[in-house]
Structure 1
Amino acid sequence: MDDPISFRDETVWLNGFYQLAIEVGSRDDGCFGALVESVSAAAGVGEWYRRRDVEPEEQVPVACAMTSFRNGERLFGKVTLPNGRGVVCGLFAIRPEEYPHWLVFYIPGGALERVGLAYEDGVSWYRSGTVDDWFAEIGAQAFARVPFLLGVIGLEVSALTSAEELGGSPEKWHGTGFLIPGQEGLRYHPARENG
C-alpha cells in the first residue's frame, strides 16, 4: 500500500507522533469533552474510529466525546493537511489522578513523510513548520471555545512540560512550539533552532 490515509498500511503509523498536546485546566468531564469536540472540529476530522487496523468504511464511527475514551484507548481518523493532502490522525487523553490532564491530537510521522511534510529544511530537529502553524491554529480555535493551560507542538511532546513548570517562558526550549495563555489571549511561540 502507498496511501497516507489507509488505516491498514502500518507504515503510515510509524516514526513517532507529531502532536498538538493540550494541558487541560479542568478535571471536569464536561470541559474535557467540549475540548475534545473543539479540537476535532478545528482540525476538520469528520469521523473518529476505534480501530486502526480496519478501514473506516468497514467500522462504525464513534462519538467525538469524552465517553469515547475507554481505558486509555485512542481514536483514529482522517484529516486534510494545509497542503491539501489527506493523512491518518489520532486522538488520545492522558488523565492520571495526581497529574495534569492532557488531550493529544497527532499525525503519525510515517504519514507526514509520505506526503513530504516530515522535515523542515535548514533545522536540526524533526519538525514541520507547516504542521506547527496548522496545529497552532487548531489550538487557537479550540481555546476560543474552551480555554486551556498550555499547548505544546512537536514530536512526542505530550507531558513534556506543564504550564506550571514552563512559567510562561518557553525560552529554554528549542524545537518545540508553545501556545501560552496570557492577559492578551493565547500566544503562539513557534519552535526555534537555539534555546
Structure 2
Amino acid sequence: ILAKSFPNNTLETLIFKNVKTERAQLSSLLEVMDEYPQLKNFTLTHQDFNNYQIESSFVSQLNINTGILRLDISGSKMRPRTLMHICHAISQNAYGKPLRFLNLSYINIEEGGVHEGEYDVMEALRSPTTPLDLSPVKGQSPKFSLSIVAYICQLIRESENLKHLDLSGMNLRDRVKPIIQSIKIAKSSSLMSVH
C-alpha cells in the first residue's frame, strides 16, 4: 500500500498510535524506515518489542536511518537491554545528530519500573569525556535498570540537536539526579524540555 501511495520514497511521516500489530506486521513497519530514507517522523506506540528479531531489526534501522527528527515509541513493552540498545544506537551514530524529539514515556520495561541497581554512574557523569561504567555489582544481573538510566544519560550527553525528551511515566524515582547532571554537561544546548 505504501509503495503505491508513495512511489518515489517521499513518505516523511508514519504514525501508528495505539494500533495493535502482530510480530510480522511490526517487522514490516520497521522495514519502512529503510525503504523510505526521507522518513522524518516515526511514531510506533504501544508495541511489543520483547522479541529478539524485532529488537535487532529496530536497532538496525536506527543505525541506518539518519534523517529521523521525531521518534515516538511511548507505551511500548521491551526488555531493559532493548531500551539500552535503542538509546545507544541514537547516541553513538549519525542518527542521533538530527533527532529533535524523542518520546520514551510509559515504556513498560519490567514490573516495578526503573529503580533497581546498586552501582553509581555519577562519577562518570561528572566529566563529559569519561565513559560510563555500566558494569553491574558482583552477583547482580546486567539488566539492572540503573544501566538504562546510564544509557539515557549518555543519549542526553551525545545528542547534538535534541530539543524534547519525554521520560514521563517511567518511574525513575531516585534516578533523576544523573539525568539532571547529564543535561548540564550535554553537547546540545538546544534541549528545551525533559519530562
Q: TM-score when scaled to structure 1? A: 0.30
Choose between structure 1 and 2: higher strand proportion.
1
Query: Higher relative contact order by CA 8 Å / sep ≥ 6: 1 or 2?
Result: 1
Choose between structure 1 and 2: higher helix proportion.
2
